[in-house]
């Protein structure tokens, strides 16, 4: 295992910038997740690391060596594909042995390492099967074993869980994570699923429109999102349009004056948005004392999610926000049309100026 450095990595197709100036340093043994909506450039970035796409600019260093000009078959990067890409005409053992045969290892070593890799993904005894005789989850583990058998410098995972059903996904998520820690694998995973990203990553990279918007831990992204996009993409936010009146003071277009002390609230003036996390707000029949903001409103819509309930409250003709409450026994559960008060501390308000 080794460290991976991307420097100023870019990919242009004509006038379209698929990836712009991505610079990332991934430590030995680190699990980095590239997160973003489809078309944000995360997969292109991963494929440039694997060598399937030639960058328009920038370079890729793997284990200290510049591999930018090397073809995929000369880079020691193990990749797990979204479709698993198992060789359908080869058995499980032959699939796993493929990379070792390419490295011209002696037969005895190959057999030993195939057995090890299959044992690692708990598929010992399945070596003689064909891929089509396995379930989706098992195929996924063969793909992982095949990538691990070559002892890659970096493990690349391209949406590895997207073809699994929800329950299996959770299991495999934990498995991959444990395996990664146990083996100390430098890993880069691409996903659009933020829950997947948050549970697996040591560090996350949020991308949009080809650019890196923010790099950080789960807490960094959630508590201190760098921009409006990250605030909306990682976790959920209600955005109130308006302008900064003074540091710590935001006036919405609907005329509400709100106190804020979260990230970005040091701005002195200018148009912008106030982002509020639905779960940081409280809703009650009367104002809650001790909180910086308390406003009356009317419930417009209630969305029952089981453990949680989303309540959409209109505060003014131009301002509507979402409050998420836990579905507690005997808790306050407002209904549509009811008058309520929404309260929150100033620290819950994040400001993004234009």
List residues binding another protein (CB under 8 A). 50-52, 71-74, 77-79, 81-83, 85-89, 98-99, 102-103, 146-147, 150
The nearest distance, CB 338 to another protein, in angstroms, is 50
Q: Are strands 16-26 and 4-13 parallel, antiparallel or unpaired?
A: antiparallel
The nearest distance, CB 81 to another protein, in angstroms, is 5
The nearest distance, CB 175 to another protein, in angstroms, is 20
The nearest distance, CB 152 to another protein, in angstroms, is 9
Of 160 and 264, nearer to another protein (C-beta) is 160
Of 41 and 51, nearer to another protein (C-beta) is 51
Burial class from Cβ neighbours inside 10 Å (0-12, 13-18, 19+) for residue 195 reads exposed
Q: Are residues 75 and 124 in contact, defined by beta-carbon separation less than 8 angstroms?
A: no
The nearest distance, CB 119 to another protein, in angstroms, is 20
The dihedral region occupied by 327, where left means phi > 0, alpha psi between -120 and 50, and beta the remainder, is beta
Of 145 and 243, nearer to another protein (C-beta) is 145
Which tokens sit at 166?
């929800």
Total residues belonging to the chain? 354
Of 85 and 346, nearer to another protein (C-beta) is 85
Sign of CA dihedral 308, 303, 290, 276: positive
Helix extents (H) in the chain? 42-50, 92-102, 107-120, 136-149, 166-183, 194-200, 218-223, 228-233
- The sheet with strand 154-158 has its strands ordered as 77-80, 154-158, 187-191, 31-35, 203-208, 211-216
Of 164 and 295, nearer to another protein (C-beta) is 164
Of 156 and 340, nearer to another protein (C-beta) is 156
Query: How many helices (H) and strands (E) would you count in the chain?
Result: 8, 20
The nearest distance, CB 301 to another protein, in angstroms, is 43
């Amino acid at each position: 295992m080794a460290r991976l450095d991307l420097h100023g990595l870019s990919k242009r197709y004509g006038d379209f910038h698929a990836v712009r100036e991505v610079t990332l340093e991934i430590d030995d043994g680190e699990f980095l997740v590239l997160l973003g909506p489809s078309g944000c450039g995360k997969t292109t970035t991963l494929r440039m690391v694997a060598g399937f796409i030639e960058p328009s600019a920038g370079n890729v260093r793997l284990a200290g060596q510049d591999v930018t000009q090397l073809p995929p078959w000369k880079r020691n990067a193990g990749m797990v594909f979204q479709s698993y890409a198992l060789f359908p005409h080869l058995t499980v053992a032959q699939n796993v042995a493929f990379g070792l045969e390419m490295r011209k290892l002696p037969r005895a070593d190959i057999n030993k390492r195939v057995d090890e890799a299959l044992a690692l993904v708990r598929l010992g005894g399945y070596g003689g099967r064909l891929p089509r005789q396995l379930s989706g989850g098992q195929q996924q583990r063969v793909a992982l074993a095949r990538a691990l058998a070559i002892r890659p410098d970096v493990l690349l995972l391209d949406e590895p869980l997207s073809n699994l059903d929800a329950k299996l996904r959770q299991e495999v998520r934990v498995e991959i994570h444990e395996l990664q820690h146990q083996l100390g694998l430098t890993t880069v995973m691409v996903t659009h699923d933020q829950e997947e990203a948050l549970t697996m990553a040591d560090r996350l990279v949020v991308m949009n429109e080809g650019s890196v918007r923010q790099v950080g831990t789960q807490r960094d992204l959630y508590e201190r999102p760098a921009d409006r996009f990250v605030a909306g993409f990682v976790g959920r936010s209600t955005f109130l349009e308006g302008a900064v009146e003074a540091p710590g003071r935001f006036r919405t277009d609907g005329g509400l004056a709100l106190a804020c002390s979260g990230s970005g609230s040091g701005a002195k003036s200018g148009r912008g948005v106030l982002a509020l996390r639905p779960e940081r707000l409280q809703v009650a029949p009367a104002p809650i004392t001790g909180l910086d903001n308390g406003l009356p409103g009317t419930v417009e819509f209630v969305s029952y999610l089981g453990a949680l309930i989303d309540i959409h409250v209109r505060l003014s003709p131009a301002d509507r926000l979402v409050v998420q409450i836990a579905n507690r026994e005997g808790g306050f559960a407002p209904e549509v049309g009811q008058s309520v008060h929404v309260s929150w501390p100033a620290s819950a308000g994040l400001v993004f100026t234009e």
